[in-house]
Structure 1
């Protein structure tokens, strides 16, 4: 997961990292998140050719099961080697509400990397 406040450069970092990993021969699955619907970030990342799922209408901590379902859907459709998830900027306690539960509940199915947070663009 790559977190950070609105305007910190999360989507730019996600896109660049996804491209870098793709250039290395890895299949990348992206998961975007926002409070609203019809996410601009999702459209932009999909237009660059990345398999992208979106979770609108609430942060990952409020829509935890949707995050898991998005990862499973991308797994079945595209078999990615790696996922990059971009939570909404207002999601503040990602370790306790998302990373830890993912490791505890789904650690046998997914390897969870450390959370990265962007502070300044």
Structure 2
């Protein structure tokens, strides 16, 4: 089972991207499940583009031991129920994707179970609100970018090309090792590059 953890702020386009990616994997014959830690702007329901997708929502408010336990328990329940080939995890904006990955690794080790196959950590950025988020939610924004292996500059159709360049430069200053991709969910520009980055 490959686990794909997609972080980012609410309204950054995570849920829409998961829909598109989930559709791709389902069409390829993969069983897909989704674990959501906050209600997104798009409902990822059980019937995703005509494919049966198991969805579970974890509704803890912040990063606590209870949240970590809830996520690991929910993953175990989804695995038992759906036996997915692909599991998407969408943490809420205040939960580090790295924390989620490390907790799942730890849980697998403790339980002596099969180790999970993790895709690179991805963070989605809404290009139209990036600089506002840097100003108002600086720590969370920096934390998300610093732990990410892939940063997707999403909704690039809403800003000028020079703004996209400025955001990319800012992201690479925060995390020089990150792979930065540009995308718009409007017409799925960049979807193939995102898929490639998942391995």
- TM-score w.r.t. the length of structure 2 is 0.51
The one-character-per-residue Cα deviations of 1:47-75 (angstroms, maximum 9, x if unpaired) are 4231001101324x431111111111111
Q: Is the 8 A contact 1:32 1:42 kept in 2?
A: no
Q: Is the 8 A contact 1:31 1:84 kept in 2?
A: yes
1:6 to 10, 18, 29: 10
Which whole-Å CA distance do the structure 2 matches of 1:71 and 1:110 have between them?
Answer: 11
Higher relative contact order (CA 8 A, sep 6+): 1
Q: Which residue of 2 aligns with 1:82?
A: 86
User: Are 1:54 and 2:54 matched, yes or no?
Assistant: no
Q: Which residue of 2 aligns with 1:116?
A: 122
1:98 to 100, 124, 127: 100
Unaligned runs of 5+ in 1: none
The one-character-per-residue Cα deviations of 1:51-108 (angstroms, maximum 9, x if unpaired) are 001101324x4311111111111111111111001111232x331x222232243253
Q: Is the 8 A contact 1:33 1:55 kept in 2?
A: yes
Q: For residues 20 and 40 of structure 1, do their structure 2 counterparts lie closer, same or farther at Cα, with a shift above 3 Å needed?
A: same
Unaligned runs of 5+ in 2: 127-154, 156-199
Large movers: runs of 4+ above 6 Å: none
- SS of equivalent residue, structure 2 residue 25: helix
- Corresponding residue pairs, total: 114
Displacement, 1:113? Answer: 2.2
Which whole-Å CA distance do the structure 2 matches of 1:89 and 1:110 have between them?
Answer: 23
Point out the structure with max Rg over C-alpha: 2
User: Are 1:45 and 2:45 matched, yes or no?
Assistant: yes
- TM-score w.r.t. the length of structure 1 is 0.80
- SS of equivalent residue, structure 2 residue 61: coil
Q: Which residue of 1 aligns with 2:77?
A: 73
